[in-house]
């Protein structure tokens, strides 16, 4: 059996919405595997959320086996995705919108499609009245304008936003979803142990006996809940998150690795290490105070980056010190420390002000050794811009600060602010040693081309030959 998960134009990035601790795309693939799909084609876009989904799937070798990624700058439609994925011509396939989850017996629906001569079936159509009511399918035959709509087996739900994802997750935690068997081929698996009805605690999590948990609630792997904290109902605490003493988490999601400070109350929102997003209107409030919201696992530069930074420092330190000293005597240069807001909270970074780029690299290399700056990354922070979506802004803020600025290789010369933010957002999700090396090569050739243009413009033009009278 073949299946296509295709993009939904009005709801990009839904694949990474969390349903009971796991992304929607993982739930979809589990569902398709449970009903015997041998091959799955997954359409992904070029936005940062799709890049994050692709990186996540690459790390899941078992789950991602026999999944063909089809990259598209705009939604292609299920038939085109199937063709680009190399499905045999004319074979029926299941077409699942990227925002749909269910538990129906798709094998039965597949047989119905074959019997009716349909080339695809889609589950469910637009306008499903309630997320947990029985699903419907459309059998699409040669005449696509006249689909046959039939009632499907099991339930089907559209997950259009975080609120709906949390509602389905809460139903799963409370056991309100149908159990496998009969018309229901699969159920959402909770990767935790149920210590009380509707209260689930994953492996390695630590919950103080003086903490109060109210169902439905899910405590992720290696998470910590301190004494006096109140978590639930409708609370989802991610892996390695920390809920400090007297904090309150109700109708909220705490993303993995997030520290919720003492006495902080979260209600109707999503808390990440660097911001809080309201569920009601999607507004995002960046937080710079680590006493309110912080990051449990602040990343440090890898050993290879530190060794490279140390080698560069040994080469540059003496001449740079002499230049700084000479210019400082005339008040022309100094080292200063500026406070920036990053994905992992506020950081203090050293900045040089000699105006000589190679020497201003020295204080940034010290930051690499301290572990608060990457060897490669962006050099300056971004700020709110009118007309730019808050989601894109937060993704762009996730780009790591680096000693060597690779942003000129991310954005073409003359690119506008939105292009710059999209480049940063992509880099934040795709950053790897291979990506950094590729961008470094591009940066080298950009600088070489610029130097050649400057040297050419400074060369005086040859004098015009004198005209003969």
Digit-coded pLDDT (tens) for 122-154: 655 554 445 555 666 666 665 455 666 666 667
- Reported as a single tens digit per residue, the pLDDT across 75-118 is 888 888 888 888 888 777 888 888 888 887 777 777 777 777 77
**Would you say the C-alpha torsion 68, 15, 98, 203 has a positive or negative sign?**
positive
Which token pair is 20?
């009971």
Q: In CATH, which of 2.60.40.420, 2.20.25.650, 2.160.10.10, 3.90.1280.10 is domain 198-295?
A: 2.160.10.10
> What integer is the mean pLDDT of 150-172?
82
pLDDT surpassing 90 at residue 455:
no
Break the chain into its structural domains and give their ranges.
2-173, 198-295, 303-454
pLDDT at site 339: 45
Alpha helix ranges (H) inside 206-354: 303-329
Q: How far is CA 210 from CA 228, 236, 246, 248, in A?
A: 6, 19, 10, 13
The CATH-assigned architecture of domain 2-173 is Alpha-Beta Complex (3.90)
Of the candidates 456, 447, 453, the residue with the CA atom closest to the CA atom of residue 357: 447
Question: Model confidence at 344, in pLDDT bands (50, 70, 90)?
Answer: very low
* Burial class of 178 by CB neighbour count within 10 A (0 to 12, 13 to 18, 19+): middle
pLDDT surpassing 90 at residue 315:
no
- Beta-sheet strand order (sheet of 206-207): 206-207, 224-225, 242-243, 258-260, 293-295
Q: Which of 154-158, 169-173, 216-220, 341-345 has the lowest mean pLDDT?
A: 341-345
> What integer is the mean pLDDT of 435-454?
80
Question: Model confidence at 467, in pLDDT bands (50, 70, 90)?
Answer: very low
Q: Which of 306-320, 352-366, 430-444 has the lowest mean pLDDT?
A: 352-366
Question: Model confidence at 342, in pLDDT bands (50, 70, 90)?
Answer: very low
- Reported as a single tens digit per residue, the pLDDT across 18-58 is 999 999 999 999 888 888 888 899 988 766 677 677 777 77
**Would you say the C-alpha torsion 86, 89, 91, 95 has a positive or negative sign?**
positive
pLDDT surpassing 80 at residue 169:
yes
pLDDT at site 174: 92
C-alpha–C-alpha distance, residues 74 and 76, integer Å: 6
- Reported as a single tens digit per residue, the pLDDT across 408-437 is 888 877 777 778 888 888 888 788 888 888
Q: When comparing pLDDT for 439 and 398, which is higher? A: 439
pLDDT at site 204: 93
Burial letters 423-459, b for 16+ CB under 10 A, else e: bbbbbbbebeeeebeebeeebeeeeeeeeeeeeeeee
Q: Which of 198-202, 352-356, 360-364 has the highest mean pLDDT?
A: 198-202
Q: Which helix (H) or strand (E) holds 102?
A: strand 100-102
Give rounded-to-5 percent helix, strand, coil for the chain: 35, 25, 40
DSSP 437: H
**Pseudo-torsion of CA 413, 416, 422, 425, nearest 10°?**
80
C-alpha–C-alpha distance, residues 270 and 254, integer Å: 6
C-alpha–C-alpha distance, residues 223 and 211, integer Å: 13
pLDDT at site 469: 40
pLDDT surpassing 50 at residue 13:
yes
């Amino acid at each position: 059996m073949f299946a296509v998960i295709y993009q939904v134009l009005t709801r990009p990035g839904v694949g990474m919405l969390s349903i009971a601790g796991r992304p929607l795309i993982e739930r979809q693939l589990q569902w398709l595997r449970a009903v015997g799909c041998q091959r799955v084609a997954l359409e992904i876009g070029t936005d940062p959320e799709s890049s994050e989904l692709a990186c996540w799937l690459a790390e899941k070798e078992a789950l991602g086996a026999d999944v063909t990624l089809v990259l598209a700058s705009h939604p292609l439609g299920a038939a085109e995705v199937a063709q680009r994925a190399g499905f045999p011509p004319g074979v029926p396939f299941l077409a699942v919108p990227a925002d749909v989850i269910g538990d129906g017996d798709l094998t039965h629906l597949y047989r119905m499609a074959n019997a009716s001569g349909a080339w695809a079936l889609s589950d469910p159509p637009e306008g499903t009245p309630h997320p947990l009511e029985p699903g419907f399918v459309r059998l699409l035959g040669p005449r696509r304008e006249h689909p046959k709509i039939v009632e499907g087996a099991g339930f089907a739900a559209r997950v259009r936003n975080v609120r709906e994802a949390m509602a389905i997750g809460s139903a799963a935690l409370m056991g309100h979803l149908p159990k496998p068997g009969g018309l229901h081929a699969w159920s959402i698996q909770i990767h935790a142990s149920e210590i009380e009805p509707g209260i689930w605690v994953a492996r390695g999590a630590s919950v103080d006996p003086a903490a109060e948990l109210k169902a439905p609630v899910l405590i992720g792997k290696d998470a910590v809940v301190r004494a006096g904290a109140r978590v639930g109902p409708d609370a989802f605490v991610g892996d390695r998150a920390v809920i400090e003493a007297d904090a309150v988490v109700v109708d909220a999601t705490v993303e993995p690795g997030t520290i919720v400070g003492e006495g902080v109350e979260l209600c109707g929102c999503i808390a990440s290490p660097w911001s809080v997003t309201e569920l009601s209107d999607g507004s995002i409030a960046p937080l710079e105070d680590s006493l309110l919201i912080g990051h449990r696992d602040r990343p440090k530069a890898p050993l290879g980056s530190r060794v490279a930074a140390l080698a560069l420092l040994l080469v540059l330190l003496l001449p740079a010190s002499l230049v700084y000293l000479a210019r400082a005597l005339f008040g022309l240069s100094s080292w200063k420390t500026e406070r920036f807001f990053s994905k992992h909270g506020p950081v203090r970074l050293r900045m040089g002000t000699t105006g000589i780029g190679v020497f201003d690299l020295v204080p940034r290399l010290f930051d690499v050794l301290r572990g608060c700056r990457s060897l490669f990354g962006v050099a300056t922070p971004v700020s709110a811009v009118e007309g730019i979506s808050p989601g894109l802004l937060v993704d762009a803020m996730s780009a790591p600060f680096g000693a060597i600025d690779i942003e000129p290789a991310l954005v073409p010369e003359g690119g506008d602010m939105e292009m710059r933010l999209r480049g940063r957002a992509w880099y934040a999700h795709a950053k790897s040693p291979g990506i950094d090396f590729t961008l470094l090569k591009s940066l080298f050739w950009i600088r070489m081309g610029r130097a050649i243009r400057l040297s050419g413009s400074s060369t005086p033009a040859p004098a015009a030959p004198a005209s003969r009278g």
